[in-house]
């Protein structure tokens, strides 16, 4: 992932040039035993949705107003974090303030759920400042994607409370994206996602199709998100146990060799060998990302990494840096069918 997540508000998401020095408090020991399986409450019309910027900045108050309009269109009442419009280089304020904003949303009894306004870079920097025990005591649904993968993984590791890997609040929210999020967050649905079937006037399809690396079905907890962010957390106390999990991945603007390198890192770290199954969604702009002809296509890279794992694995799900992405519940049980290219959620993400 070499650019922030895509949205029609991209003009508001420019990067700064100043580098920030990370200063972290002492990291608490990883809790012993299995994390809590408590689920956050579902959203209802009229609920307050807390808006946070745990990574990149959003630009100005006009961008925030546009985001708030989208939240109201969902039937929710937006509540922006105190430091929402702060900026420190390419970050939305200091690490401590961004972490404090997230903790404040968990402490606010009127806030029902929390959504990141955008990705970029910076979520991993705030992890040492978060009080995961307090979050587990007041579970709330968190939603976002891209760099927010760091928070999804940390929540899965340290609280066990499910979250939703889906559009950030600054997304364009086409009907497919909205309906997928609504079904999980409002209805507590257990949908089955399928790779879209070919439709249109062309006989040959070149993008939306199932690519099965190894067939079969598998069940396990859904864990994953952005590959770049996940790989960067290897060796930290913020990765959950991947034993028997269904790993879902996506990325954007990464050359084939970098995708290969990051997957190799996961293999060498023992993560890929623990999995029950793998789903790779979209790798937007990844093919020949650096120009010229590549020795391996992105599909060959994935095939070489996944086919030998001995577990069901496929590519093509609508997960990632695309406008119509589906929302994926993190931390709940699911079943995949790698031949059919489907992901069936087996339990609600919310109570």
Say how many C-beta atoms besides its own lie within 10 A of residue 110's C-beta: 10
Torsion, Cα 65 70 76 77, to 10 degrees, reads 0
Question: What is the rounded CA–CA span in Å between residue 242 and residue 262?
Answer: 16
Supply 151's token pair: 């928070």
Question: What is the rounded CA–CA span in Å between residue 142 and residue 151?
Answer: 9
> Hey, which residues are catalytic here?
146, 250, 321
Listed in sequence order, the DSSP H helices in the chain are 61-73, 95-107, 123-126, 132-137, 149-158, 175-185, 227-232, 256-268, 298-306
Residue of 270, 272, 343 lying closest to 311 (CA atoms): 272
Question: What is the rounded CA–CA span in Å between residue 154 and residue 168?
Answer: 18
Residue of 319, 300, 308 lying closest to 211 (CA atoms): 300
Residue of 244, 204, 251 lying closest to 336 (CA atoms): 244
Say how many C-beta atoms besides its own lie within 10 A of residue 210's C-beta: 18
């Amino acid at each position: 992932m070499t650019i922030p997540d895509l949205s029609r508000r991209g003009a508001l998401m420019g990067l700064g040039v100043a580098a920030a020095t990370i200063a972290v408090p002492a990291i608490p020991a990883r809790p012993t035993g299995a994390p809590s399986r408590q689920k956050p409450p579902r959203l209802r019309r009229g609920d307050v949705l807390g808006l946070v910027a745990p990574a990149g900045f959003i630009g100005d108050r006009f961008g925030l107003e546009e985001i708030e309009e989208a939240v109201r269109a969902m039937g929710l009442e937006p509540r922006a974090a105190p430091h929402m419009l702060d900026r420190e280089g390419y970050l939305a304020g200091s690490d401590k303030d961004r972490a404090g904003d997230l903790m404040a949303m968990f402490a606010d009894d009127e806030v029902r759920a929390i959504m990141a306004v955008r990705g970029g870079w910076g979520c991993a920097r705030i992890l040492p400042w978060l009080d995961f025990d307090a979050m587990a005591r007041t579970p709330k649904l968190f939603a976002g994607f891209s760099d927010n993968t760091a928070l999804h993984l940390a929540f899965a590791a340290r609280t066990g409370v499910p979250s939703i890997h889906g559009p950030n609040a600054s997304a364009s929210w086409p009907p497919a994206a909205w309906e997928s999020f609504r079904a999980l967050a409002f209805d507590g649905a257990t949908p089955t996602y399928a790779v879209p079937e070919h439709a249109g006037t062309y006989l040959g399809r070149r993008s939306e199709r199932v690519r099965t690396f190894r067939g079969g079905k598998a069940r396990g907890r859904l864990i994953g998100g952005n590959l770049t962010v996940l790989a960067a957390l290897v060796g930290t106390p913020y990765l959950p146990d991947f034993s028997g999990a269904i790993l879902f991945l996506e990325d954007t603007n990464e050359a084939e060799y970098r995708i290969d390198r990051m997957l190799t890192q996961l293999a060498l770290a023992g993560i890929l060998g623990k999995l029950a199954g793998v789903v790779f969604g979209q790798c937007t702009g990844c093919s020949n990302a650096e120009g010229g002809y590549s020795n391996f296509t992105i599909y060959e890279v994935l095939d070489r990494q996944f086919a030998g794992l001995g577990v069901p694995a496929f590519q093509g799900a609508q997960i990632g840096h695309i406008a119509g992405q589906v929302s994926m519940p993190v931390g709940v049980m699911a079943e995949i069918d790698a031949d059919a290219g489907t992901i069936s959620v087996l339990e609600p993400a919310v109570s």
